[in-house]
Amino acid sequence: MTNHTAITIRRPDDYHLHLRDGEMLKLVTPDSSRDFARAIIMPNLVPPVTTTALAEAYKARIEEAIPTEHDFRPLMTLYLTESTDADDLELGAKSGLISAVKLYPAGATTNSDSGVKSIERVYPVLERMAEIGLPLCVHGEVTDADIDIFDREAVFIERVLDPIRQAIPGLRVVMEHITTKDGVDYVRSAEKDLAATLTTHHLIINRNHILVGGIKPHYYCLPVAKREVHRLALVEAATSADPRFFLGTDSAPHATDTKENACGCAGCYTSINTLSCLAQVFEDQDALDKLELFTSVNGANFYGLPLTEARTRLVKQDSPVNYPQTVDSSGFNVTVFDPGFPLYWKVA
């Protein structure tokens, strides 16, 4: 095992991030803009970001929430619905405002009610996206009541994603937040136009962390964490230097009381400590030299963005870094993801 005490990498990007709106947006944006150069911003607001005009207005609200000393660029997405206007989407993409389109199967997760019920209805839009090279970001879970929640990703690949990719060759797809070995294997089976993001928390927790010794609502997210064998497959993929896997934190803030609840919301808040967590995960695999590919290179290459020129230095301290347990606004707070091990790596 190589012993590192510091590493320098290109400034990371986050290819899957929830910033929300209003007071929550103001609270959480600095935690991302501090450590990340760019982020793909999820559009599942209420109401969702379904048009170029809504995305432009949302981008302006995000920019207002970025502290002036932070260098951070939000990359906007559109929320795909059965009435998405392909011309509006193309204009948004060609103007440089829209970086991707997000597919939420209706009912799959937070604010997905306006999502897609019948995938064939959006094929014309997907065809347009293939023509113009605009990536589709996919929440890859079926929502059928008879499919076990732990199987929903694997079934989605077979019943929905593979048919889409066969029907629309050239469509560029990012499987967001994959949680299974099935997801890893499917990405690896594709010759081109397919990649996946991996979250910080899915590299660290398995389903036991949620359920053993009492229910842990702050580990509940969607797709739900799976068995350990799947987590190990994700860690292997992240640390393998394969260009098809890159970081999308899916940092998804919810007020603490809405997670510590009889019907708790899905999402882990990881923006603030993601780089510390990842450095530890990669160090444990003796793969710190692969961290930059995962956080700062593979995603940019997939999205056709220039690599970031700024550098981030991560330093390993002797004593654990003290992250707050919550980030606080007036009247609510958000609980910070607890990796369950001490964090010694810190952004210098």
Q: Tell me which residues touch Zn ion (CB under 5 A).
A: 250
Q: How far is the CB of 205 from ligand DOR (least distance, A)?
A: 12
| Alpha-carbon distances of 272 from 216, 300, 346, rounded to whole Å | 20, 21, 11
The closest alpha carbon to 346, from 275, 247, 269, 249, belongs to: 275
From ligand DOR, Zn ion, none, interface partner of 110 (C-beta below 5 to 8 A by class): ligand DOR
* Enzyme catalytic residues: 250
Contact string (CB under 6 A) for ligand DOR, positions 171-210, x = contact: ----------------------------------------
> What is the Cα–Cα distance from 141 to 126, expressed in whole angstroms?
18
Q: Is 266 in the site for ligand DOR (CB under 6 A)?
A: yes
Nearer to ligand DOR, 99 or 110 (CB): 110
Asked whether 77 and 112 are in contact (CB, 8 A), the reply is no
Which of 40, 62, 160, 221 is in the footprint of ligand DOR by CB under 6 A? 221
Nearer to ligand DOR, 20 or 346 (CB): 20
Asked whether 130 and 171 are in contact (CB, 8 A), the reply is yes
Nearer to Zn ion, 15 or 345 (CB): 15
> What is the Cα–Cα distance from 166 to 171, expressed in whole angstroms?
9
Q: Is 139 in the site for ligand DOR (CB under 6 A)?
A: yes
> What is the Cα–Cα distance from 68 to 315, expressed in whole angstroms?
25
Nearer to Zn ion, 138 or 187 (CB): 138
| Alpha-carbon distances of 102 from 1, 98, 236, rounded to whole Å | 40, 11, 26
Nearer to ligand DOR, 11 or 74 (CB): 74
Contact string (CB under 6 A) for ligand DOR, positions 25-64, x = contact: -------------------x--------------------
Using only C-alpha atoms, the chain has a radius of gyration, in whole angstroms, of 19
Q: Is 143 in the site for ligand DOR (CB under 6 A)?
A: no
Q: Is 226 in the site for ligand DOR (CB under 6 A)?
A: no
Which of 101, 157, 184, 222 is in the footprint of ligand DOR by CB under 6 A? 222
Q: Is 110 in the site for ligand DOR (CB under 6 A)?
A: yes
Q: How far is the CB of 79 from Zn ion (least distance, A)?
A: 12
The DSSP-derived string for 113-176 is TTSBS-GGGGHHHHHHHHHHTPPEEE------TTS-GGGHHHHHIIIIIHHHHHHSTT--EEET
Q: How far is the CB of 42 from Zn ion (least distance, A)?
A: 5
Residues forming beta bridges with residue 100, ordered by sequence position: 77
Residues forming beta bridges with residue 251, ordered by sequence position: 17, 268
> What is the Cα–Cα distance from 299 to 40, expressed in whole angstroms?
10
The torsion defined by the Cα of 212, 214, 215 and 216, in degrees rounded to 10, comes to -90
CB within 8 A of 165, min separation 6: which ones? 171, 173, 190, 193, 194
Task: Count the residues of the shown chain that bind ligand DOR, applying the rule CB under 6 A.
Answer: 11
Q: How far is the CB of 314 from ligand DOR (least distance, A)?
A: 26
Q: How far is the CB of 320 from ligand DOR (least distance, A)?
A: 26
Nearer to ligand DOR, 109 or 273 (CB): 109
Q: Is 109 in the site for ligand DOR (CB under 6 A)?
A: yes
Q: How far is the CB of 253 from ligand DOR (least distance, A)?
A: 8
Contacts with ligand DOR by CB under 6 A lie at 18, 44, 109-110, 139, 221-222, 250, 252, 266-267
